[in-house]
Amino acid sequence: MIFLKIFTTELSYHFRQIITWIYLVALLAFIFIMKSVITTGDGVYINNSFHITAVSVIGGMIWLVISANIAGGSAARDAETRMHLLTFTTPVEKRFYLGGKFFAALFMNALLILTLPIGILLSFYLLKSADSELLPFSVLPYLNVYFLILLPLVIIATAFQFALSLITQRSLMSYFASFLLAFLGQILAIATARLFNNWDLVKLLDPVGISGIVGNELQTWTLLEKNTRLIRLEGMFLWNRMLWICLAGGIFMLSYYRFQFATIKRPTWFEFRKKISVSSVIHSGIISTSAIKVPTATPDFSLTSKFLQTLKIAKASFNRIARNLFGFSLVALAAIVPAFFGKNILSNFGIPVLPTTPQVVDFLSPPLGSIDSPYVIIPLLILFFTGDLIWRDRDANSNDLIDATPISNWILFLGKFLGIIWVIFAWMLILMLGGSFMQIALDYYHFQIGLYLKVLFGIQLVNYVLFALLSMFIHILANNKSLGYLCVLLAFILISFHDALGVHHHLLVFASDPGWEYSDMRGFGNTIFPWLCFKIYWAAWAVLLAVVAILFWPRGRLNFKDRIQLAKRQFSKAILKISIIGMCLLLLSAGFIFYNTNMLNKYVTQEDILNHKAEYELKYGKYRNTLQPQLSGTDLQIELYPEKRKADIKATYTLTNKDSVEIDSIHFGSFSEFELQNVEFEKSAKAVIEDRELNYYVFQLKHALRPGDSIKFSFEVHYKSVGFQNSNNRSLVEKNATHFTNLDLLPLTGYQPNYEIKDFQSRKEHQLPYRPELPSLYDERARRKPILADQNNFKVTLGTSKNEVAVAPGNLKKTWEKGGRNYFQFETDAPLRGEYSIFSGDYEVIKTKWKEVDIRLYYDPRHTLNIDRMIKSTKSALEFYTKEFGPYPYGHFTIVESPDNGNGMHSEASMVDFGGQFALLNPDVTPEGFNLPYYIMAHEVGHQWWGGAGVTPAYVEGAGVLVEGLSVFSGMQVLEKDYGKGHLEKYIDYLHADYALPHSLASPSLLQADEPFLYYRKAGIAMHTLQEYVGQDKVNSALSQILQKHRNGDLPLVTTLDLYKELETVTPDSLNYLLNDFFLTNTYWRLKTEKVEIEELDTDKWKVILKIDAEKFTVDEEGSEKNIPMQDWIEIGLYQEKNETPSEIYLKNHFITSGKQNIEIIVDKKPSFGGIDPRSLLIDIRVDDNLYFLED
């Protein structure tokens, strides 16, 4: 009965709170925004279960962070309002009191979160557009998400929130509980999964489901499954629910038993003794002292005194936060813990990166709104502590005392603001220590203290301080604690997701900026000045917000009307002056920024780009099949002025008619905003179309170009980077950082279908006709179009400033100095195809030779770690490919460091560039290690045969397999040749690793591959497996056949069908199924060694019985699975392990059929482990059960 009374009283309290309804509205708003933002794919209905599940999980997260106060309030409100003096003294039993409170909160939360399924259901019907079709209504998905996802979350979260608030007797601690669950839970889950490389662990550990359900489970659903599939309470998910409910129950019980109906701390013995002696003094003193005499201390209201007051309040605020359990501990944790995992954090493709300060600082300094960094805790802590400071006096009920003192509002405001600034300062110091500690832990001692200071105490501090001010402003204006927290959180979410919400201009997103970046070559480049301009602009806003906050500072018990009155009265001359200064600064900086971003430069949104592309297609798509001569020669005169961010280009193109009919008009154009100037044709030609908006030009020749004839035309491009832009302030030409390609500035001939919008949905929105993203392999017409067509004899003269070296593809013919500038002339000795790059920077150069090929490597003098490795790999690869596939066409090979922080390499004809982070990769090159950079270099050299200068496939499905897949395979062979089987196996594991990531099994076949995963990973595995089964020589000879037949780029162009045909000719009939499984269908194996039994027959004779379970199945593009009877040759291996180094005892192919089977082998050594497909040649989602380990 008492329980019921407490329960209903508590519940009705929540119902009467406005904030409860605000939570409800917030959840509904989220649902409706999601509904209108998300577009479903082709074949997925609007009310699909994927949407219902995903929105429920994310909505659950939002509920978790905004409405923690419900449980927190139930647990601690009595103590906070000092009601506990009354309630605790009533004869209510603890279990009824806490039970009533807890279950009321639980019930309230369960009710509140019911908003999600109901809201989602409503959103389908209320936001239904005319042409969208709905699946017939079923209550099942809604019940499913409510009872399996949301209700357990409510139970877990309420228990955590309630317990933490109960223990501390502070309702706000419930937000910390939410924080722990929402962020720490996720981060821990992902970190653990990474550590053990088992993504199932995320499903197990993530309490909320953002990464466990949305990021993991849902990713494995196929298109068709998205419609109706539901989360099932089984496997890891079941364990997850059990684990968290147990944890929640545990912490709840702990808080329950700790709770006592008393709050006054019993004095310790020491205090007790002291108390007695003191109280006697008091009594003796009371009557006898009658007069009071207070020394006169005249209050001082001078400016100095106000300054001292500000400091005092700042100090008190700082101490308040410093003494909070979470004040520094969380940031310290987030700084120190990563230091121990530096090797994993500062790594690329699993290879550690040299922990230079720029690398560490990059990790420590995410943008303010970034939510996938552990440092998201900093804005969240700011949100919490600013609220705490603003509400401190009212929470302590000291506000009347303080408000009646003559302290000015602005001092109270500035004091608290200064306090939080000091705290942020301390946090930055902690981050800096954590970063240095990470470097020390990785045995790296070259600290760039200056960079730490610039980034943490310059950039990050300013961002956080601006956010703190916004947070204080909102808390003051909201004048309601829960509402304040909700609004600040909302502001943070808006800052984080401004791009997704369609707000792109940084003048509109609080505290934002165009971004900055730092690379060793570029430094901060041109990113700091625009950053500063934006920060001045936001600082001006901050001043105005501060003025409003001070005017509305909550003082006394004023109602809204009185507050406005008071604000008016306080609007003094000084405040007016500050406001005017702030306003002027705001307008000036806004004007200056707008002038730069929108007038000096074109302000281009993603939508503008799409519109531009759509217009291009609509206007000029009709020329798609107009015959055009091909580019056969390029002669460039480029003057680079890196300091002025300027380049002048004079170009002459030679075009040759390679078709069999006459061509009478030349089409060309570029996608850069820099227009072509002084276009002149060698023979008489007249401009028919000169579209400077879309940069499309058509010239009519007076005399048509006959087959085999050529024509020259020349033009100029003047590039100049002026001012700054709203985003990406890298210039193409910049001090020690010049890098651009022909696509950036120079025109291409003919209409460019590549420029068309590819995405199906966007095409629909722009009323463009349907076309597949990639033409079908079986589209005969498409098969006539190559990826790259040109056969371009290239010549360039490059001028650059006197400190820099300019680089382009080709032999370096000449260098000279003129007028204080350096000049370089390059010329290729065989035609280039497609893209080429120009670089200029303060490079160090290494020149060497492989046979007749000149190899030149241009690198930043600080980045020497991988130099020798790159050269060695290049030479080895050139040697190997020449032998296996055919000759290298050029007498030159150039490797250049790109000025940016890229972590990979990029290949063009006769030239490869690598990013600043690639240069820092620090692989283990011992036999147990994995020299990935060496492989990558060999892979890029492989592109000289596959893609680039070599084979150029038709632009249809599967083209990526020929370009990337074959380069992967080539690189793997070079890695194996030079570093042995160990390194190769690491690479194969690396290829397989992505299969372990949660994703849908549905996929097209390799022949019709349409995505990078297939191009790189699956094609690499397929080719390597084939090599193991069929033999390296045979496979390589098949590949060299392709090159021999298609090298010159003539029709018919090569496709994956040719690859298949060549492989078929070298593959014995008995293994034909393998080709079929890897290339024609999307086949998976399920191989498992259930048990290995051994029996000693004789000395040195062991009988081994392996119990194998095997299965093979295909999954088509829609996701339907089909079992395939197995009659496959699969390796069985046995190994002996001595001193932790396994050695092979037995490895042979066995004929395996579907189902369980026993395999008997006699060997002469005692095996310690063994199993089926030990080298992971086949595609098996779970490779960890292939081997069985015997116990000794």
Q: Which residues make up the interface to other proteins (CB under 8 A)?
A: 264-265, 267, 278, 281-283, 285-287, 289-301, 304-305, 308-309, 312-313, 316, 323, 392, 396-398, 400-408, 555-559, 562, 565-566, 569
Cβ contacts of residue 540 below 8 Å, gap of 6+? 582, 583, 585, 586, 589
Residue with tokens 């050029």: 890
Cβ contacts of residue 1184 below 8 Å, gap of 6+? none
Following DSSP, what letter does each residue of 770-788 receive, concatenated? P--SS--TT-TTGGGSBS-
Q: How far apart are alpha carbons 796 and 789 in whole angstroms? A: 20
Does residue 1118 contact residue 1060 with C-beta atoms inside 8 Å?
no
| Least spacing, CB of residue 134 vs other proteins, in Å | 48
**DSSP state, residue 764:** H
| Least spacing, CB of residue 172 vs other proteins, in Å | 15
| Least spacing, CB of residue 554 vs other proteins, in Å | 11
Which of 171, 173, 155 is CA-nearest to residue 242? 155
HSE at residue 1049, side-chain half, CA atoms within 13 A, is: 22
Q: In one letter, which amino acid is 119?
A: G
State which residue, 285 or 450, has the beta carbon closest to other proteins: 285
Cβ contacts of residue 1174 below 8 Å, gap of 6+? 1131, 1132, 1133, 1135, 1147, 1186, 1187
| Cα-based angle 819, 822, 825 (whole degrees, multiple of 5) | 120
| Least spacing, CB of residue 443 vs other proteins, in Å | 43
State which residue, 288 or 1141, has the beta carbon closest to other proteins: 288
Q: Output the six-digit token pair for 793.
A: 């004899």
Q: How far apart are alpha carbons 496 and 54 in whole angstroms? A: 19
**DSSP state, residue 676:** P
Q: Output the six-digit token pair for 184.
A: 């720490």
| Least spacing, CB of residue 552 vs other proteins, in Å | 15
State which residue, 85 or 1097, has the beta carbon closest to other proteins: 85
State which residue, 171 or 752, has the beta carbon closest to other proteins: 171
Instruction: Please give the span between the terminal C-alpha atoms of the chain, in angstroms, as a whole number.
Output: 64
Q: How far apart are alpha carbons 1043 and 1050 in whole angstroms? A: 12
State which residue, 299 or 819, has the beta carbon closest to other proteins: 299
State which residue, 139 or 286, has the beta carbon closest to other proteins: 286
Q: Output the six-digit token pair for 201.
A: 């662990």
Does residue 182 contact residue 380 with C-beta atoms inside 8 Å?
no
Residue 1056 host element (H or E): helix 1056-1066
State which residue, 557 or 847, has the beta carbon closest to other proteins: 557
State which residue, 406 or 819, has the beta carbon closest to other proteins: 406
Pairing of strands 677-681, 710-720: antiparallel
What separation in angstroms does the CA of 711 have from each of 628, 655, 656, 686, 702?
Answer: 12, 5, 7, 14, 12
Residue 956: how many other CB atoms lie within 10 Å: 26
HSE at residue 540, side-chain half, CA atoms within 13 A, is: 18
| Least spacing, CB of residue 8 vs other proteins, in Å | 24
| Least spacing, CB of residue 267 vs other proteins, in Å | 8
Q: How far apart are alpha carbons 967 and 962 in whole angstroms? A: 8
State which residue, 296 or 1139, has the beta carbon closest to other proteins: 296
| Least spacing, CB of residue 10 vs other proteins, in Å | 24
Q: How far apart are alpha carbons 28 and 51 in whole angstroms? A: 15
Q: Output the six-digit token pair for 733.
A: 């030409």
State which residue, 295 or 820, has the beta carbon closest to other proteins: 295
State which residue, 296 or 1048, has the beta carbon closest to other proteins: 296
State which residue, 559 or 1048, has the beta carbon closest to other proteins: 559
| Least spacing, CB of residue 71 vs other proteins, in Å | 23
Q: How far apart are alpha carbons 737 and 804 in whole angstroms? A: 10
| Least spacing, CB of residue 404 vs other proteins, in Å | 4
Residue 713: how many other CB atoms lie within 10 Å: 20
State which residue, 396 or 587, has the beta carbon closest to other proteins: 396
| Least spacing, CB of residue 193 vs other proteins, in Å | 41
| Least spacing, CB of residue 607 vs other proteins, in Å | 48
State which residue, 311 or 1080, has the beta carbon closest to other proteins: 311
Q: In one letter, which amino acid is 310?
A: T
State which residue, 561 or 802, has the beta carbon closest to other proteins: 561
| C-alpha 578: how far from chain center | 41
Q: How far apart are alpha carbons 735 and 858 in whole angstroms? A: 16
| Least spacing, CB of residue 408 vs other proteins, in Å | 7
| Least spacing, CB of residue 76 vs other proteins, in Å | 14
State which residue, 323 or 781, has the beta carbon closest to other proteins: 323
| Least spacing, CB of residue 276 vs other proteins, in Å | 11
State which residue, 90 or 289, has the beta carbon closest to other proteins: 289
Does residue 687 contact residue 697 with C-beta atoms inside 8 Å?
yes
| Least spacing, CB of residue 174 vs other proteins, in Å | 20
Secondary structure of 636-667 as H, E, C letters: EEEEEEHHHCEEEEEEEEEEECCCCCCEEEEE
| Least spacing, CB of residue 415 vs other proteins, in Å | 10
State which residue, 402 or 493, has the beta carbon closest to other proteins: 402
| Least spacing, CB of residue 483 vs other proteins, in Å | 18
Secondary structure of 528-587 as H, E, C letters: HHHHHHHHHHHHHHHHHHHHHHHHCCCCCCCCHHHHHHHHHHHCCHHHHHHHHHHHHHHH
